[in-house]
Amino acid sequence: MSIPVVAFFNNKGGVGKTSLVYHLAWMCSISSIRILAVDLDPQANLTAAFLEDERLEELWDDSDQSQTIFGFLSPLIRGVGDIRSPECEVVEDNLALVVGDLNLSSFEDQLATEWPRCNDGHERAFRVMSAFWRIMQDAAESFEAELVLMDLGPNLGAINRAALISSDYVVVPLSPDLFSLQGLRNLGPTFRRWRQEWQERLKKGDNFPDLRLPKGQMETVGYIVLQHSVRLDRPVKAYQKWISRIPNEYRESVLGVGSSKRVSVENDPECLALLRHYRSLMPLAQEARKPMFSLRPADGAIGSHLQATEDAHRDFLRLAKKIVNKVGVPWSV
Ligand SMILES: Nc1ncnc2c1ncn2[C@@H]1O[C@H](COP(=O)(O)OP(=O)(O)OP(=O)(O)O)[C@@H](O)[C@H]1O
Ligand SMILES: [Mg+2]
C-alpha cells in the first residue's frame, strides 16, 4: 500500500501552485488530516513559506547530511549508494515538510539521461527515476501521513517528469489569461505522453523485485482558477473572454476529449474552485508566516482584512474537502 501523492502542476509560472499547496496543507492539518508537503521546486518557495530564515540556514548547510531533498538524494547522485532515509521537518502536529533545496536543479541532467535507459532495463535508471517517489513514501510512512501534497516548478523538464510519474493525482492551477490557455496546449499532450512512456518502462522494472516503483497514475483531479486581482487597467471583458474558454480548452488539451457543448467555469465539474485573489491579505500572511485564514488582529488583520480571513477559511476548507474526497482520503471532521 502506498500513500497517495497529489501534484499541483502547471508549466505556466505564477498561477498560485505554491500558495495552494501551502494553504491546503495547513487547512488539512488543522482539520486533523496528517499531511506531508513536499517541495520539489528547486526555487524552494514552499520551503521558504514554511520555515524561518534561521532554520533554513541550518538546513541548507551544503553537507551530504543535509536534511533536504537534495541531501536525501545525494548518495544516489554521487553514484555511491541509494537514497538516504529521509527525515522530514515537522511544522505542526499534523504537518511535515520534505525541505526543498536550490541544489536540486543539478539532478536534472541525471534524470534526463536515465529516462531512456529504463527502456534497456538498467537498475540504476529505475533507482534514479523512482527516487522522488521512494523518498516521499518513506517520509510519509515515518510521519504517518495520510496524504502527500507536492509543489513543483513551472516547466516541463526532467525533474518535473520524475515528480509527475510519482504522482497519483494532479491538480492544475491556472489563471484566466492567454498564456495560461496556451500553456494547457503543451501541458496536456506532455502529461499523456509521460504517463504512457512510464507505463512502457514499468514493464522492464519487474526485474527488480526489491525496488518499489511508482505506478505513474497521474490522474487529473481538476483545475483551479486563480482570479485576477481587480486592476483598473485590465478590462473585465478580456477576463471574461479567457475564463469562458477554460472549460473546453482543459477538456481538449488536458483530458484529450472533444467537447461539443459549452459549459461555464461555474458549472464545470472539472473546476475545483474559482479562487479569489486576496490581494493585500496574502503579503500580510507571508509576513506573519501563517496561512491567510489563521491571521489575527495582532498580525494586522483588522477591518476588512479580518472579514477576508473568514472568507479565506471558508474557501480553502471547501476546496480542501473537495480534493481530499476526490483522492479517496476520508475527511474525518
Ligand atoms: N489566492 C491568492 N490571493 C492573493 N495572492 C495570491 C493568491 N495566490 C497566489 N498569490 C500570489 O501570486 C503570486 C504567485 O503565486 P505562487 O508563488 O503561489 O505561484 P506559483 O504558481 O507557485 O509560481 P511559480 O510558477 O513561480 O512557482 C505570489 O506573489 C502569491 O503571493
Ligand atoms: Mg511556486
Shortest CA distance to 176 belongs to which of 269, 109, 93, 274?
274
Q: Is 13 in the pocket of ligand 1 (CB under 6 A)?
A: yes
Supply 68's cell numbers.
533536504
**Which atom of ligand 1 lies nearest, measured to the CA of 226?**
1
Same domain for 233 and 312? no
Same domain for 195 and 322? no
Same domain for 141 and 263? yes
Q: What's the CATH number where 96 sits?
A: 3.40.50.300
Find where cell 461539443 sits: 260
Measured in Å, residue 174 CA sits from the centre of ligand 2 at: 12
Strand order in the sheet with 147-151: 89-92, 95-98, 35-39, 147-151, 5-8, 169-174, 219-226, 271-275
- Are residues 101 and 68 in contact, defined by beta-carbon separation less than 8 angstroms? yes
- Please give the pLDDT value at position 17: 98
Ion ligand 2 — residues with CB < 5 Å: 17-18, 45
Same domain for 195 and 296? no
- Are residues 74 and 67 in contact, defined by beta-carbon separation less than 8 angstroms? no
Give me the number of domains the chain comprises.
Answer: 2
Q: Which residues pair with 89 in a beta bridge?
A: 97
Same domain for 247 and 204? yes
Same domain for 144 and 178? yes
* Strands annotated E in 89-162: 89-92, 95-98, 147-151
- Please give the pLDDT value at position 119: 97
- The residue range of the domain holding 144 is 5-277
For the stretch 261-283, pLDDT in tens is 889 999 999 999 999 999 999 99
Query: Phi and psi (nearest 5°) for 95?
Result: -140, 125
Burial class (CB in 10 A: 0-12, 13-18, 19+), 78: exposed
Same domain for 224 and 307? no
Same domain for 273 and 310? no
- Please give the pLDDT value at position 333: 66
Which ligand neighbours the alpha carbon of 308 most closely? 1
Q: Is 18 in the pocket of ligand 1 (CB under 6 A)?
A: yes
Q: Is 226 in the pocket of ligand 1 (CB under 6 A)?
A: yes
Q: Is 274 in the pocket of ligand 1 (CB under 6 A)?
A: no
Q: Which helix (H) or strand (E) holds 203?
A: helix 178-205
Q: Is 19 in the pocket of ligand 1 (CB under 6 A)?
A: yes
- Name residues of the chain where pLDDT drops below 70: 230-235, 333
Which ligand neighbours the alpha carbon of 17 most closely? 1
In a domain, 183, yes or no: yes
Supply 194's cell numbers.
509521460
Same domain for 219 and 301? no
**Which atom of ligand 1 lies nearest, measured to the CA of 43?**
27
Give the distance, in angstroms, between the CA of residue 184 and the centroid of all CA atoms in the same chain: 17
Same domain for 253 and 315? no
Residues 6+ apart with CB under 8 A from 10: 17, 154, 172, 173, 174, 180, 183, 187
Same domain for 222 and 311? no
- Are residues 147 and 331 in contact, defined by beta-carbon separation less than 8 angstroms? no
- State the Cα–Cα distance between residues 27 and 33, nearest whole angstrom: 9
Which ligand neighbours the alpha carbon of 20 most closely? 1
Same domain for 102 and 250? yes
In a domain, 160, yes or no: yes
- Please give the pLDDT value at position 81: 96
Measured in Å, residue 180 CA sits from the centre of ligand 2 at: 15
- Percent of all residues in the chain with a pLDDT value above 70, rounded to a whole number: 98
Q: Is 180 in the pocket of ligand 1 (CB under 6 A)?
A: no
In a domain, 331, yes or no: no
In a domain, 269, yes or no: yes
Mutate to test the pocket of ligand 1, among 155, 275, 281, 282 (most ligand atoms within 8 A of CB): 282
- State the Cα–Cα distance between residues 324 and 330, nearest whole angstrom: 7
CA-nearest residue for atom 31, ligand 1, is 282
Shortest CA distance to 228 belongs to which of 304, 172, 175?
175
| Pairing between β-strand 95-98 and β-strand 147-151 as defined by DSSP bridges | unpaired
Choosing from 277, 300, 318, the residue where a domain stops is 277
**Which atom of ligand 1 lies nearest, measured to the CA of 173?**
21
In a domain, 285, yes or no: no
- State the Cα–Cα distance between residues 272 and 117, nearest whole angstrom: 38
Q: Which helix (H) or strand (E) holds 69?
A: helix 69-77
Measured in Å, residue 325 CA sits from the centre of ligand 2 at: 24
In a domain, 332, yes or no: no
In a domain, 83, yes or no: yes
In a domain, 46, yes or no: yes
